[in-house]
Structure 1
Amino acid sequence: MPDRTILVTALHGAGWHPAAWRADPAVARDTTRLAHWRRVVVEQDRAGIDAVTLEDAFTAGPLDADGDLDTRTVVGRLDALLVASAVAPATRSVGLVPTVSVTHTEPFHVATGLQTLDHVSAGRAGWRIQVSPTTREAALFGRRSGGDPATLAAEAREVAEVVSRLWDSWDDDAIIRDVATGRFIDRDRIHDARFVGEHVSVHGASIVPRSPQGRPPVFALAHDDDAARLAVDTADVVLVTPGTSGPSGAVGGGGGVGAVRGVGAVGGVGLEARGALARVRHAEQAAGSATVRPVLADLAVLLGSSLAEAEDELAALDAASGSPYSGASDAAVLATTATGLVDRIADLRAIGYAGVRLRPLRTPADSTAIARQLVPALVTAGLRADPPSRPTVDLRTRLGIAPAVSRYAVPAQGVSS
């Protein structure tokens, strides 16, 4: 586990709360403007956030319980992978992790798109793997249904394997630029990523040279046992959605945490938080994996200058949307202060979490609060290093993940004297 807290911000439309756009109606227009996302991501970058994830789906917006577009929230979004590639040149150190579905997307396009992002960001690309189970998304591709969970998971495993093979298909030194022989590449250093599966198949190599990280780190959400097994099979970083602790949701001191979901507290954190982490570790053991993956807790947050202010603002958003967001969110919903959230993060770190992925309920209001209020508070608490003191490194290194060694790499031979 990294010796410091990993901090990731999850960016989604006008914010994760369906009524977030009502807090600032101008944001509803900005979500389809690249300049908006550049401003938001650059602020995270300057604050020293480790990575931002960019949500995406094939539908124009979130769906309601009936599978139709939820018109309470902002409809219309930009492609996450393209946004990440576009904002990369304006950033210096933040990891860029777009959500890219494996259900209706060709593995070749996934692989090359993410390789390109890794090149333009100089080694800061990641991939949040996601399946697309809804009938509405399937219909966009001429399919009648989204598929059963087991089939979707099997397809996801195959796509992840193909993408990994394509990423490895070029050796680091495949480009030789040999003027004497007129060869730009050494064909012996480019490999066939041949794979034939039940759902996908590929033949040949990537058309993009091996990127700075070799294989950008893969993130996956593990909200139940099946998802945990899929995450262990496909991902380098696992995201989980533990509940809040205590009947009142209060955690630690410093102003407390106003929480919407509550479960029994054990040692300062919820039983569900311990269980979510244990689920991933059990899946690793069952798979025979020697790798202990960083596990991040997903928390949906609204930050205020006081606990009362935060709770009032969340109540106003819930009233505007017609129902409490806690009933729809898979993650704990916390209305809190920066100091209160630091206490919550410290408790999660104490039981083995590598860090958190924070879902700002309002963007940019809460993403700005994360950058300007939470990060300094974490530094003061000793949970983060001061951003100016931290070197710029690739995303794998920043997350504490070992370098990616190509499956085609030939071990170096010793030199005898």
Structure 2
Amino acid sequence: MSDRTILVTALQGAGWHPAAWRVAGSAARRLSSLGHWRDVVVEQDLLGVDAVTIEDSFTAGPVDARGDLDTRSVVGRLDALLVANAVAPATRALGLVPTVSVTHTEPFHVATGLQTLDHVSHGRAGWRVQVSPTPREAALFGRRPGGDEASVLFDEAREVAEVVSRLWDSWDDDAIIRDVTTGRFIDRDRIHNAEFEGSFVSVHGASIVPRSPQGRPPVFSLAHRADAAAFAVDVADVVLVTPGSAGREAQDLLDEVRHLEQVAGSDVRRPVLADLAVLIGSSVAEARDDLAALDAAAGTPYAVGTGSDTSVLATTIADLVELIGDLRGLGYAGVRLRPLRIPVDSTAIARQLVPALVTAGLRADVASRPTADLRTRLGLAPAVSRYVRTTAAQGVPA
């Protein structure tokens, strides 16, 4: 079996469980500090995790049945893209994948912000693309009514993703020539305008950021339902799905992604990651007791349909390794794990799960992991600019 099992840790506040902030040793007092994020991210980097995603939203936190902020949960968040840029210099090999919504954000800002991260991190940026469907989020911007149908939001998101990709390609790798003799800093012919007219987005011109180390940072998208899966196959390099186990459901979800790739006429088989929420204990009984205590503190179980859009596993390192091995056997490229408690479960992922996967032959030792760009680490092909392809097709040297 390949040792390139992809392992991604999904970071959110004090953890994904609404009551995680009440756990002894939680980071609740430091959630708005750069030190908290740097500590958690550096631990993942040093111990061999491939990437972290950083959650974000235009809401300050979960809402209750009345639509008001749920005061029993963590309320307040830092901007994920800015956090990723801030912690990047402290890391060496870790991919940094902030969540950036496209619903109320100009594609120009999405593109240039992620390009900046790719430069700052020397080619380790990624993007978890997300839509923002609620009226509460729309009200913050005042430009459009909220509550758009999902199909409309995904159609808009497709256009934004296309524009972002064009802006990323708008500078050739060698556009900056620094020709002192002629006094030209750039070759204007190597900068291309991203001309796009769509139903939702109209953009004309080039990015202000030179082409980034990866050209195009890899795009992650959550395919937790049919319309989201179709969108993910259209725009993403890495697809996240939410199986309940390594059984029939997991196989069906993977088969659906492959089917959608065929329907889209794509000859690329994207890495598919199983996206799971985990609470890790020294025994299953201990883990289940800890989860029950968190649920009691929150006043409701944290499970699919009640706060979570994926399976919540109270598990051990040994059982988690077995599950990941089974998923790999089905054809999954790896997993994204959402730690219910930070730093308790995020630390267990880095300090215990990584070496256990190495022992099981599911990953290479941390010393031999690739330190190249994130695309390489994920097993993705290099991003070739559309303008380079066009030039080559016309028989003109690129």
TM norm structure 2: 0.96
Aligned residues: 391
Aligned ranges 1:361-372 → 2 under 5 Å:
361-372=340-351
Contact 1:2 1:400 in 2 (8 A): no
Structure 1: which 5+ residue stretches go unaligned? 245-268
Residue identity (%): 76
Of 393-402 and 383-392, the range deviating more from structure 2: 383-392
Q: Distance in 1 between matches of 2:83 and 2:136?
A: 24
Aligned ranges 1:6-405 → 2 under 5 Å:
6-24=6-24, 27-142=27-142, 143-244=144-245, 269-326=246-303, 327-405=306-384
Q: Distance in 1 between matches of 2:181 and 2:340?
A: 59
Q: Distance in 2 between matches of 1:375 and 1:53?
A: 17
Q: Distance in 1 between matches of 2:232 and 2:2?
A: 19
Q: Deviations over 1:221-255 (max 9, x none)?
A: 001221111001110000001113xxxxxxxxxxx
Q: CA deviation at 1:390?
A: 1.9
The residue identity in structure 2 corresponding to 1:77 is R
Q: CA deviation at 1:377?
A: 0.5
Q: Distance in 1 between matches of 2:174 and 2:43?
A: 36
Q: Distance in 1 between matches of 2:117 and 2:281?
A: 35
Cα distance change, pair 95–185 in 1 and its aligned pair in 2 (3 A): same
Runs of 4+ in 1 over 4 A off after TM superposition: 412-415
Contact 2:221 2:239 in 1 (8 A): yes
Q: Deviations over 1:328-352 (max 9, x none)?
A: 2111111111111000111111001
Q: CA deviation at 1:411?
A: 2.8
Q: CA deviation at 1:388?
A: 1.2
Contact 1:222 1:231 in 2 (8 A): yes
Contact 1:132 1:146 in 2 (8 A): no
Contact 1:2 1:399 in 2 (8 A): no
Contact 2:3 2:364 in 1 (8 A): no
Q: Deviations over 1:136-187 (max 9, x none)?
A: 0011111331311111011000000000000000000000000011111000
Q: Distance in 2 between matches of 1:58 and 1:379?
A: 38
Contact 2:126 2:217 in 1 (8 A): yes
Q: Partner of 2:276: helix, strand, or coil?
A: strand
Structure 2: which 5+ residue stretches go unaligned? none
Cα distance change, pair 146–289 in 1 and its aligned pair in 2 (3 A): same
Q: Deviations over 1:264-286 (max 9, x none)?
A: xxxxx222111111121111111
The residue identity in structure 2 corresponding to 1:270 is G
Q: Distance in 2 between matches of 1:339 and 1:398?
A: 25
Q: Distance in 2 between matches of 1:318 and 1:123?
A: 40
Q: Residue 256 of structure 1 aligns with which residue?
A: none
Q: Deviations over 1:28-57 (max 9, x none)?
A: 221111110000000000011110000000
Q: Distance in 2 between matches of 1:65 and 1:240?
A: 27
Q: CA deviation at 1:2?
A: 6.6
Contact 2:3 2:363 in 1 (8 A): no
Q: Deviations over 1:315-364 (max 9, x none)?
A: 10011001110132111111111111000111111001000000000011
RMSD over aligned Cα, in angstroms? 1.6
